[in-house]
Structure 1
Amino acid sequence: MTIIIYPPTIDWSYMRQRPQHIMSQFAKDHHTVLYLNKENQPGKVWSEVENNLFTINHAQFFIDKIVPKLEEEKLYWTSWSKKIPFAKACHADFLVYDCVDDFPDWDDDEKRWIHEVDTIVCTAMNLKEKMKKIAPETPVTLVPNGCDWEFFNKFQSIHADMLEGVPSSKGPKIGYIGAWAEWVDKEIISKLADTYSNGQIIIIGPMLTSDIVNKTNVYYLGYRDYSNLPAILAYFDICIIPFKLNRITESTNPIKVYEYLAAGKPVVSTNLPEVKKMVPFVDVADTHHQFLSDIAKALVYKRNPSYLSQYAKQFSWEERYKTIQQSLVNYFPAIRKRGETHQLLTSISYHHDTFTLAHCTTNSYYPNTNLKHDPPFIGKKPQGEYQCFLKSPKENIDLRSDHIYLDFDIESTQSFTTIHVEINYTLNDINIDKLTYSTKLDLHSFKNYDFQESINYTYSVDITELVKKLGAIPSFQLKSKNNAHIRLNNPRLSIFNRTDEVRK
């Protein structure tokens, strides 16, 4: 079948959300899925985590060295507009933009790149209408979120009496699973805590803001692995979606509502357009007073868990995938083809090791001062030009390694800002304890790069041929003509070796 490429937005093992679920469905349909993790990890460059689904743990190396060997047609699926331009680097034949949120920060990228997309999938009607306005010639398909129904349904008849992290209580257990973020209505949480002082308000999810409701019966348990969620839901009496109404939430189709229902839990939500479609299976409140009233009714008139769960079954990811498949066949007939990418990726393998490089920053404003304790910066500003020196590693690295990359991480704050990096090298030993801007070194030019942003946080430079020519790993000087001070986090060498063959 077709190769499906998902670029880095969320690591495979973190917060199993729509991307992971949809990619799993592609894999179950016998496509080869390449899921690129956001963070580069040492170890296997790729791993088969599900049948036909491979996580990629060094995106740039895989794109440089492996993707050109993959002969099947490639479908590139991204749920972040910022990643649309990387479809070309991945040799994609067809590009799908999965529009999942209406974040204002994404507007510019959407308008800039949307016309490179072949088809658009949207999770909410508001998003579909927005996409039709900015890309009127591009096909748009509505595919809301869903749930792993069987995974949550198996707990719908179970009630747990205890939950790790909270004391035992006879009062009602009111739970929210999701990010604790700016769009959560903290006033509702506070009123719930006051109304049910003998109960528990339990928050499960990553803390994206420090603005909390400081009540003794509000429990913030933080992020919990996806595998634990059904058991946690078994402890709740009622599940809530306490969102403020704003531009973002009015276009939100929350996965949690489907998961709540699949687990047989009654749900009370604020008046979100996408959740309102699910009345009467979900209670939707216009005001705080009505929200509290709906909670009180739900505690008295308990819903049949099986009834709620059976309703949610129609929203399984398997059912959502059927809509995706039917749409893609119309626009990308190659989705029906079969290939041999899976056999290729299971027949060869690469291992990735990293070696942190000691650095020293220098600054023209302090030409004779050693700044070895400063972070690694490059770039120019009136406060001085920063240069960064990376010392040759002290570890004994096998120079016969298949590939050697110079890696560093940059979290760019501006979309697709060109980052100019000039790289020079020296074989002479550099003393980072005494190095200053004025120090004279025997430097040789290697390459100048104009990085048009990386597919993930890591910027990678292939230095394999330079190392083989020199017969050694040199020290490097990095500098930039950008009118900014650019921080190079975690400078390191990445060493790649094939592990499926015996080195001669």
Structure 2
Amino acid sequence: MPRTTPPSLASASFQPIPNIVRQSQAANSEQPLLLCFSHLRWNFVFQRPQHLLSRAARTYRVFFFEEPIFEDGIEPDLRVERSNEGVMVAVPMLPHGLSPAEIDEHLRDLVDGLVADTPAAETVLWYYTPMAMSFSDHLSADVVIYDCMDELSAFRGASPHMRECERKLFAKADIVFTGGMSLYESKRRQHHNVHAFPSSVDAAHFARARRLGAVDPADQADIPHPRVGFFGVVDERMDLDFVREIAELRPDLNFVFIGPVVKIDPASLPQRANIHWLGGKDYKALPDYLAGWDMALMPFALNESTRFISPTKTPEFLAAGKPVVSTAVADVVKPYGTEGLVEIAATPAEAAAAIDKLFRMDRKPWEEKVNRKLASMSWDKTWGEMNQLILAELRPASGLGTSATAGVAARV
């Protein structure tokens, strides 16, 4: 397919989309384009964006536009690769030393080049970060989605312009999704079309941890039982004092933590003989680690950065058959705490007592409640319901028919 980059992009070095993709453009040109702007990298942690957009890629051409990577002495460039899930991951490469205005100018050129090289009858813009409005606010689309999975303005290091950009995104968006009920209550008065889609679960994936005879991964095999585990990003949302205190209270328990350490000094992690920091692991390997745990712990700090979170790991731990003790995060307390699926603890001493309670409980009634809860949840169902809302916006404008709707009913 001939290049159709506008003249204004002549100064930008846009890497052509790989041949395997370009050769299929003609065949796929009737598929809607879904262009996602994210503050998270596709290969960082497999979570909400990956679950949803992997499913979107079955019927849309999905491009995942990441934040830029800076290197010395390079020309502005966009590197595009296909993920194993069929999503095209677009990574802007920019030289060091640019001003914020110059960064936005180059990103605008690169995203314009991507859109020009990916013709589509219908276009959906999907935002995870409002900050992308600084270089994409000019783009037109048939539907604009804001999937608000976190209150990013409350996170450590958040841009002072985050709230202003979010106001612009609310004005541009046709639909707003929220990652939990607390966020829904916070955002529903800011837009006319807000829908709550709390974190869901790939139950079959994590149910692998329930199988007997699992072989412990090598870096976990020598950790004695009982084991109480956590996986997820280790950042300012984790209450490190809580971790330190419960480990001191219960030297008989071994606490296993899996996940990358970001935005905090690794030297600040509490160090004890019964605390084990194993680092980040591939999503596919998580059930192997979970299989060797006796219980799960969610020691979240209760602060501005956790006020609106809806941890995806809650249903994942339950799907793995692991009893859970958590601090009082609002979207964990309700529904999981109130439904008797998760024990809520305000202090390390309460958490230790809750762990003892869970070790003594009759597991069968609890497992039956867990299974009933999980039976109503899946990422397939979540994506199917989201897509129906998107199609309701697309249809009046374009008469969209079969391409994006194929197979939706079977997955809802």
Residue 84 of structure 1 corresponds to 133
Shift of 1:293: 1.2
Aligned 1:52-91 pairs, distance under 5 A: 53-58=87-92, 63-69=111-117, 70-88=119-137, 90-91=139-140
Residue 299 of structure 1 corresponds to 359
C-alpha distance after superposition, 1:244-290 (max 9, x if no partner) = 22222121100111111111111111111111111311112234332
Alignment CA distance shift 1:225-1:259 (3 Å): same
Matched residue of 2:285: which SS?
helix
Counterpart selection for 1:175 from 221, 226, 229? 229
Partners of 2:212 and 2:66 in 1: CA distance: 35
Q: Which runs of 5+ in 2 are unaligned?
A: 1-30, 94-106, 405-412
Q: Which runs of 5+ in 1 are unaligned?
A: 341-504
Aligned 1:139-288 pairs, distance under 5 A: 139-158=193-212, 160=214, 162-166=216-220, 168-208=222-262, 209-210=264-265, 211-276=268-333, 277-278=335-336, 279-288=339-348
Residue 21 of structure 1 pairs with residue 77 of structure 2: no
Alignment CA distance shift 1:10-1:256 (3 Å): same
Residue 132 of structure 1 pairs with residue 188 of structure 2: yes
Matched residue of 2:121: which SS?
coil
Contact 1:76 1:94 in 2 (8 A): yes
Residue 101 of structure 2 corresponds to none
Letter in 2 for 1:122: T
Q: How many residues align?
A: 337
C-alpha distance after superposition, 1:296-350 (max 9, x if no partner) = 111222634863355324221112112212322333325944669xxxxxxxxxx
Residue 122 of structure 1 corresponds to 178
TM-score calculated relative to the size of structure 2: 0.73
Task: Give the structure with the larger helix fraction.
Answer: 2
Matched residue of 2:166: which SS?
helix
Contact 2:229 2:296 in 1 (8 A): yes
Partners of 1:142 and 1:149 in 2: CA distance: 20
Aligned 1:352-501 pairs, distance under 5 A: none
Contact 1:328 1:335 in 2 (8 A): no
Partners of 2:332 and 2:233 in 1: CA distance: 18
Partners of 1:65 and 1:180 in 2: CA distance: 36
Alignment CA distance shift 1:25-1:336 (3 Å): farther
Residue 327 of structure 1 corresponds to 389
Partners of 2:343 and 2:275 in 1: CA distance: 22
Residue 438 of structure 1 corresponds to none
Contact 1:284 1:291 in 2 (8 A): yes
Shift of 1:117: 1.6
Matched residue of 2:115: which SS?
helix
Contact 2:178 2:194 in 1 (8 A): yes
Residue 10 of structure 1 pairs with residue 37 of structure 2: no
Partners of 1:201 and 1:298 in 2: CA distance: 16
Partners of 2:114 and 2:163 in 1: CA distance: 33
Partners of 1:302 and 1:173 in 2: CA distance: 19
Matched residue of 2:230: which SS?
strand
Contact 1:9 1:80 in 2 (8 A): yes
Shift of 1:32: 1.3
Residue 380 of structure 1 corresponds to none
Letter in 2 for 1:3: L
Shift of 1:37: 3.5
Shift of 1:226: 1.3
Residue 61 of structure 2 corresponds to 32
After superposing the two structures, state which structure 1 stretch, 324-333 or 201-210, moved more: 324-333
Alignment CA distance shift 1:51-1:188 (3 Å): closer
Alignment CA distance shift 1:159-1:142 (3 Å): farther
Partners of 2:355 and 2:210 in 1: CA distance: 19
Residue 101 of structure 1 pairs with residue 150 of structure 2: yes
Q: Provide the alpha-carbon RMSD of the alignment.
A: 2.9
Letter in 1 for 2:355: I
Counterpart selection for 1:48 from 82, 87, 94? 82
Shift of 1:110: 1.8
Task: Give the structure with the larger strand fraction.
Answer: 1
Partners of 1:295 and 1:332 in 2: CA distance: 49
Compare CA radii of gyration and give the structure with the larger one. 1
Shift of 1:162: 3.4
Partners of 2:238 and 2:179 in 1: CA distance: 20
Alignment CA distance shift 1:188-1:244 (3 Å): same
Shift of 1:57: 3.8
Alignment CA distance shift 1:259-1:9 (3 Å): same
C-alpha distance after superposition, 1:1-44 (max 9, x if no partner) = 4211112422222211111111012113x111112243569999
Partners of 1:302 and 1:193 in 2: CA distance: 25
Shift of 1:96: 0.9
Contact 2:142 2:394 in 1 (8 A): no
Alignment CA distance shift 1:44-1:217 (3 Å): same
Alignment CA distance shift 1:215-1:14 (3 Å): same
C-alpha distance after superposition, 1:342-371 (max 9, x if no partner) = xxxxxxxxxxxxxxxxxxxxxxxxxxxxxx
Matched residue of 1:171: which SS?
coil
Contact 1:175 1:239 in 2 (8 A): yes
Partners of 1:251 and 1:72 in 2: CA distance: 37
Letter in 2 for 1:264: G
Matched residue of 2:201: which SS?
coil
Partners of 1:89 and 1:317 in 2: CA distance: 31
C-alpha distance after superposition, 1:82-106 (max 9, x if no partner) = 1235444554332111111123343
Partners of 1:154 and 1:336 in 2: CA distance: 39
Shift of 1:160: 4.3
Matched residue of 1:299: which SS?
helix
Matched residue of 1:77: which SS?
strand
